[in-house]
Amino acid sequence: MIRRARPAMLLAALAALACALALGGMAAGQGEPSLLVMVSVDGLRPDYITAADARGAKVPHMRRFLKEGSFAEGVEGVIPTVTYPSHTTLVTGVSPAKHGIFGNLTFDPLRENQSGWYWYAEDIRVATLWDAAARAGWTTASVQWPATVGARVTWNIPEFWRAGTPDDSKLLRASATPGLLAELEAELGPYPRGFGVEADELRGRFAERILEKKRPRLLLLHVIELDHVQHQTGPFSPEVLAVLERLDTVIGGLRAAAERLAPGRAHVAIVSDHGFARTDMQLNLFAAFRAAGLFTVGDRGRITDWTAMPWTSGGAAAIVLKQPTDAAAQSQVRLLLEKLAADPANGIDRVLDADGLHRRGGFPPASFLVGLKPGWEMASSLTGPRRARGPLPRPHRHARRCAHAGEPRRPRPSRRRGQGLAALSWPRSAPESSLRGPAHRAASWVCSDRRSVTMTGRVRSSGVSMITAT
């Protein structure tokens, strides 16, 4: 059955997951420990798998989960529905406001942090799945999972980059578990940097070798090329399907390894963080805020001071005030946003104030959130026009979006198949949410083989809940 847990139950449920797996493994394997492998395929819409035939995608390994295991149809996205906040919700079960990973990039009004992301686990304010596993006495491993630099993971290769130069490999060796990369690279060659399906395939091999050599009880793997290629070509392109099929093979290999190492005791879950929607237009709030004198730019084109600043994230932007209690600044920003929203040509769907935003678990430092209509995304240039067509030289730019969804869909009932469990729910509408988009566009998807408990963070606009299938 499907249960929706209340927020207060979330961490307990995470711990219960660990216990359930451990007990289940003990029972099924005559005392042998169980194994949980969780793979995040970044940007995986549920219909890539559930409607694979119609899309022309050959993904037999992931299709097996539909027949033999359980699958939950999407989740309601967090605010913002982007990679780092969503992944951290997957391993904590709570909203970004609670777990502390508020966006992909940190808020950096003066643009001094060189596009720094939320790479560091020390920013996570609550217990994670690897913490719960450690408390249960499990060893853990993680390959390329977001926000894991410095995480208390037994064998850890975090997702981390800086300049995009070969020195990033040294940075990664210094931030991974000491000696781990050197040991694995001696067998497998250099750990990959950046994008490319070959890089994901190699990450899969590193994960598999960690399973074989280190025998962790929990392994997390994040593969990223599906996200990248959708940014380049849009969803459902032939290039995307080609990547999807190769990632399916990676998942098949990991599942086989897990079942070989823990026969009858392996649990494999596939998750994702968001979907993609096509965008044609951009709104640049920076142009409007600069024109309104809410920040100033010096002779060298750098921001010199600010009163209020957008913090963009796909199809939405949080608005942060330098002094949140500054009533005059609040009033000025509110009037500006109302004026911009009143012009349909700007593509603004709605504006949330601080109460509405924080109630939905997003952007605690912000005073407003601006959500765009379908087809729009936020731009962040200091010099560009307020509105523009998307920057790619093709008729339609496709981008990950976080404030709006596609067509609202009715949730489908969960169902069982075979001995496994099945729970299918498309990104569903959240009528109580004034930012209905995050709910719609979140294409997170969880499936699990066997009879295991599977779960994902499920964040509703009115709070946090979680789906568990038991």
Q: Which stretch binds Zn ion (CB under 5 A): 10-18, 39-47, 364-372, 389-397?
A: 39-47
Q: Which residue, 425, 442, 410, 457, is CA-closest to 73? A: 425
Establish if 42 lies at the interface with Zn ion (CB under 5 A): yes
Answer for the pair 385, 33: CB distance below 8 angstroms, yes or no: no
CB 84 to Zn ion: min, Å:
8
Q: Which stretch binds Zn ion (CB under 5 A): 195-203, 205-213, 267-275, 387-395?
A: 267-275
Q: Which two tokens stand for residue 86?
A: 């969503």
CB 455 to Zn ion: min, Å:
19
CB 210 to Zn ion: min, Å:
22
Q: Which two tokens stand for residue 381?
A: 């240039």
Cis peptide before 46 (omega within 30 of 0): no
What Å distances lie between residue 423 and 2, 109, 141, 451, CA to CA? 7, 42, 27, 12
Using DSSP bridges, classify how beta strands 415-417 and 420-422 pair: parallel, antiparallel or unpaired: antiparallel
DSSP structure string for 298-361 = -TTS-EEEESEEEEEETTEEEEEESSTT-HHHHHHHHHHHHHHHHSGGG-EEEEEEHHHHHHTT
According to DSSP, residue 165 is labeled S
Q: Which stretch binds Zn ion (CB under 5 A): 133-141, 156-164, 169-177, 223-231?
A: 223-231
Q: Which two tokens stand for residue 141?
A: 């491993």
Q: Which amino acid is at 411?
A: P
Q: Which stretch binds Zn ion (CB under 5 A): 229-237, 273-281, 283-291, 304-312?
A: 273-281
Q: Which stretch binds Zn ion (CB under 5 A): 178-186, 271-279, 363-371, 437-445?
A: 271-279
Residue 178: how many CB atoms within 10 A of its CB? 8
> How far is residue 177's CA from residue 152's CA, in Å, rounded to a whole number?
10
Establish if 177 lies at the interface with Zn ion (CB under 5 A): no
> How far is residue 465's CA from residue 414's CA, in Å, rounded to a whole number?
16
Residue nearest to Zn ion (CB): 83
Q: Which stretch binds Zn ion (CB under 5 A): 59-67, 183-191, 269-277, 326-334?
A: 269-277
Q: Which is nearer to Zn ion, 74 or 216 (CB)?
A: 74
Q: From residue 131 to residue 160, what is the string marking binding to Zn ion with x (rule CB under 5 A)?
A: ------------------------------
CB 121 to Zn ion: min, Å:
18
Establish if 225 lies at the interface with Zn ion (CB under 5 A): no
In the list 73, 273, 349, 377, the residue contacting Zn ion (rule: CB under 5 A) is 273
In the list 131, 208, 225, 227, the residue contacting Zn ion (rule: CB under 5 A) is 227
Footprint (CB under 5 A) of Zn ion, residues 76-105: 83
Residues in the chain: 470
Q: Which is nearer to Zn ion, 227 or 377 (CB)?
A: 227
Residues near Zn ion (CB under 5 A): 42, 83, 227, 273
